Structure 1
C-alpha cells in the first residue's frame, strides 16, 4: 500500500509518503528543496556518487510512522543539508523547517 498525504508545518507545505512493503515500511517527508527519510536512505551514496545533484536530505533510523519520523533525531545528513544548517541529531521537523 502507498499513502501520499499533504501536510503542513508552521504554515509550510510538505508531502508525506508511506510505502508498506513486506517486512518494512519506507517513509519520507519532502518539499521542493529536500527531504527526510527512514533508514532506507543511503546518505553515503548521495554524498559520493550523486554529489553533483546537491541533494538536501536527512536520515532517521528505527522509525515506523510519519509522526516518529518528524520527532526522531537524524542519524545522518547529506553535505548539502549541512550547508543550510541541518545537523546530525536534529529532529526531523526542525530539519524540514530549515529546508524552506
Structure 2
C-alpha cells in the first residue's frame, strides 16, 4: 500500500510518501530544497547526485520521521546548517 500526505511545517508544506514493504515501511518526506529518507534508502547515492538529504532510521510513520534523530547527511545538507543528531523536523524546516 502507498500513502501520500501533506505535512504542514512552519516553513511550508512537505510531501510525505510511505510505501508499505514486506517487513517495514519505506518513507520519504520531501521539502522544497531537500528530503528526509528512512534507512531503506542510500545516503551515498543522494550525495553523488548532489541532493540535500538526511537519513533517519527506526521509523514507521510520518510522525516517527519528524521526531527522529538525523543519523547521516549529505554535504549539501550540511551547507544548509543541518547537523547530525538534530530532529528531522528541524532539518526539514531548513530545507524550505
Give the TM-score, by structure 2 length.
0.93
Q: Which has the larger radius of gyration?
A: 1
Does 2:75 correspond to 1:83? no
C-alpha distance in 1, partners of 2:52/2:31? 10
C-alpha distance in 2, partners of 1:5/1:14? 8
Post-superposition CA distance 1:39-68 (Å, at most 9, x none):
112112332xx2xx3200000011111101
Does 2:95 correspond to 1:99? yes
Partner residue of 2:61 out of 60, 65, 71: 65
Task: Count residues with an aligned counterpart.
Answer: 96
What stretches of structure 1 move > 4 A for 4+ residues in a row? none
Q: Contact 2:11–2:93 at 8 Å: present in 1 too? A: no
- The farther-off stretch of 9-18 and 85-94 is 9-18
